[in-house]
Amino acid sequence: MALLIKNGEIVTGSTRTVADIWCEGETITRIGCDIPAPAGTEVVDAAGKFVFPGFIDPHVHLHLPFMGALAKDTFRTGTQAAVAGGTTTVFEMCCPSRGEEPEDGFAAWKAQAEGSACCDYSFHMGVTKFDERSASQLRRIVESGVQSFKIFLAYQGAFGVDDSELFRTLRLARELGVITAAHCENAALVAELQSQLLAEGKSGCEWHHASRPPFVEAEGVHHLMAFAEAAGAPVYIVHLSCREALEEAVRARLRGVDVRIETLIQHLVLDKSSAELPDFEGAKFVMSPPLRAKDHQAVLWNALAQGLVDAVGSDHAPFDFKTQKTIGRGDFTKIPNGIPAIEDRIPLLYTHGVCSGRLDLHTFVNVASTNAAKIFNLFPKKGTIQPGSDADLVVFDPAYRGKISAAGQVSAVDYSAFEGFEIHGRPAVVTVRGEIAARDGKFTGSPGRGKFLPRPRGRNT
Ligand code: URP
Ligand code: ZN
Ligand code: ZN
């Protein structure tokens, strides 16, 4: 059935106009005024609303065995939550353990997604070890359409790689023309600070930040920048959280390192006082890099507005409070790291970014959709509204007022880190490749309809 979105204010990364959008099957085929609706057309009245390109979350974990727990959301529930919140494409971190072969890990992650995902998806291929055998497997994985690697400088003993592995991964990435996403924290410093704190009897969640202060992240970024420069490889810093780390990245960019930067909605709207809440409540807010002191937020918002930071992700890492975060009661180093945010990223970014005047509408679209599509080779299939693009559209109601509550969320997690946060504006209708897949914060689409997105070679930024 054809779909017609009528009279919405269409906002892309660079244009803004009131018009109709005609979608034939899965694709946008026409944009114009007064497009007629023949019988049988599904018509969405978007008058008084914005129409944005489907939002892209460049960093999620929907299948994540980590720190003794398995992430609570699945590709089914996590992508339903994504779509309800306006996200129509996700980039999942495929994170095999060091003992696993890359192709086995990749197959396992793909099997989790196939037939379950409710929006389109791609992967960043986690490189959690590097040797000749894994290198040839990584080549084949890239050949199959995964044009990005993911490495961890932290989590030594789990996903972390050593410096030789880092350098060899970046050299392979350069050879293959793929970009490498990186978690930047100095693993040795984290380990030293953690054992020092525990030895002093400082074992509650309020000490998590002290084990990973800004200099730990800044050193990680500095380290990655040196290796990226040496290898001549493009890199993408995930979840950058603080001024010190940003300074390292910008310094490297000024000397020619090809570096893109992502921050998270958590770091933009939450601060470290949440992780200091008593009675283990702070565990809900334990993630890495940690939530920072409030003054870092203004730095990150400015960096987004000025184009220094390219993207806002959710790093959705959904661990239940009651049964999973509790693994770390009495020892903060064992709390499964992560704060779920896949469902709330867009309404929060709009509320705290656009409504507060920190971001204009085009920057909002760019950092929440278009830039990720460009950096990771999905543009213009995804990330914009133009004939030929996938009909992934968000009809956004700026007049909506509401509050976030775990009780009403689609995600399977038992809490929300944004409980009680006020929301100004939310997606009213979300389409995934021409199908209406969410209305008013509820998933209404066909479960399992999401497709793997093989990405072409080469970057279009
Ligand atoms: O604390 C976090 N960020 N958990 C998810 C895994 C990661 O480091 O991205
Ligand atoms: Zn990370
Ligand atoms: Zn992550």
Question: Which residue out of 208, 337, 413 has the highest number of ligand 1 atoms within 8 Å of its CB and is therefore the one to mutate?
Answer: 337
In short, whether 389's Cβ falls inside 6 Å of ligand 1 is no
In short, whether 212's Cβ falls inside 6 Å of ligand 1 is no
pLDDT at residue 461 is higher than 90:
no
Ligand 2 centroid from CA 65, angstroms: 14
Q: Which residues surround the ion ligand 2 when the cut-off is CB under 5 Å?
A: 183
pLDDT at residue 204 is higher than 80:
yes
Is the CB of residue 275 less than 8 Å from the CB of residue 285? yes
Tens digits of per-residue pLDDT, 224-261? 999 999 999 999 999 999 999 999 999 999 999 999 99
pLDDT at residue 371 is higher than 70:
yes
- Which pLDDT value is given to residue 460? 56
List all residues 6 or more positions away from 2 whose beta carbon is below 8 Å from its beta carbon: 22, 23, 24, 25, 38, 40, 41, 42
pLDDT at residue 457 is higher than 90:
no
Task: Using CB atoms within 10 Å of the CB of residue 47, give its burial: 0 to 12 exposed, 13 to 18 middle, 19+ buried.
Answer: exposed
Ligand 1 centroid from CA 14, angstroms: 32
- Which pLDDT value is given to residue 303? 98
- Which pLDDT value is given to residue 156? 85
**Three-state helix/strand/coil letters over 218-244:** HHHHHHHHHHHHHHCCCEEECCCCCHH
Tokens 């490297």 sit on residue: 252
Ligand 3 centroid from CA 239, angstroms: 7
Ligand 1 centroid from CA 288, angstroms: 6
420 conformational bin, left if phi > 0, alpha if psi -120 to 50, beta if neither: left
Tens digits of per-residue pLDDT, 261-311? 999 999 999 999 999 999 999 999 999 999 999 999 999 999 999 999 999
- Which pLDDT value is given to residue 202? 98
pLDDT at residue 420 is higher than 60:
yes
Ligand 1 centroid from CA 154, angstroms: 10
Query: Among all ligands shown, which has an atom nearest to the Cα of 66?
Result: 1
Is the CB of residue 209 less than 8 Å from the CB of residue 291? yes
Distance CA 134, CA 213 (A): 33
Q: What is the DSSP string of 303-367?
A: HHHTTSS-EEE--B----TTTTGGGGTT-GGGSPP----TTTHHHHHIIIIITTTSS-HHHHHII
- Which pLDDT value is given to residue 157? 82
In short, whether 61's Cβ falls inside 6 Å of ligand 1 is yes
Tens digits of per-residue pLDDT, 72-101? 999 999 999 999 999 999 999 999 999 999
pLDDT at residue 407 is higher than 90:
yes
Distance CA 280, CA 326 (A): 8
- Which pLDDT value is given to residue 84? 98
- Which pLDDT value is given to residue 158? 86
Q: What is the end-to-end Cα distance of the chain in Å, rounded?
A: 34
Helix (H, G, I), strand (E, B) or coil at 252: helix
Q: How far is CA 63 from CA 123, 229, 415, in A?
A: 11, 32, 18
Chain mean pLDDT for the chain: 97
With CA atoms as reference, report the closest residue to 258 among 229, 238, 222, 220: 229
Kindly give the interhelix angle for 163-176 and 214-231, rounded to the nearest 10 degrees: 50
Distance CA 229, CA 428 (A): 45
In short, whether 113's Cβ falls inside 6 Å of ligand 1 is no
Ligand 3 centroid from CA 160, angstroms: 13
Is the CB of residue 312 less than 8 Å from the CB of residue 268? yes
In short, whether 241's Cβ falls inside 6 Å of ligand 1 is no
With CA atoms as reference, report the closest residue to 411 among 90, 183, 97, 51: 90
Distance CA 268, CA 160 (A): 26
Residues pairing with 427 in the sheet: 396
Tens digits of per-residue pLDDT, 119-178? 999 999 999 999 999 999 999 999 999 999 999 999 988 899 999 999 999 999 999 999
